[in-house]
Amino acid sequence: MKKISILVLFVAVLFACGGNKEQEQPKDLGIIETHPVHGSITQASFKVWGNCGQCKENIEEATRFKGVTFCSWDTTSKVCTVTYDNRETNVGAIEKAIAAAGYDNVAYKADDKAYAELAPCCQYERRK
């Protein structure tokens, strides 16, 4: 019973101390959810447009840079979930890198040239 109490206290302290500026992101970045995981490690989810398995590979590849420790894009929900070190990068930089690869998200629209270079199966219906 004592171990359970200590565990509950530890979790409560983690959540109380885990607050960071990442949670105060402006709503226009299209972030669905962001929360601290441990220390400076943060997880965020946001919408990214795409169609297929090739899109998944491209989107996940675009996030392979310093500070990003995990990325998964779901082809059905179109939600990208990333885990990153908030001392080295942030959600905006990740979304911008994905847009540079040709994929629109709420925060950034992909360059028309990058979009045109996507495989035909990856050319999703773009929002206006």
Confidence check: pLDDT of 106 > 50: yes
CATH number of the domain located at residue range(s) 21-122 in this protein: 3.30.70.100
pTM: 0.74
Q: How confident is the model at residue 127 (pLDDT cuts 50, 70, 90)?
A: confident
- Picking from 28, 22, 27, 30, the residue whose alpha carbon sits closest to that of residue 88 is 22
* Domain edges within the chain: 21-122
Q: How far apart are CA 93 and CA 97, in angstroms?
A: 6
Which 3 state secondary structure label does DSSP give 73?
strand
Q: Summarize pLDDT for 48-94 with one digit per residue, the tens.
A: 999 999 999 999 999 999 999 999 999 999 999 999 999 999 999 99
Contact predicate 90/46, CB 8 Å: no
Confidence check: pLDDT of 128 > 80: no
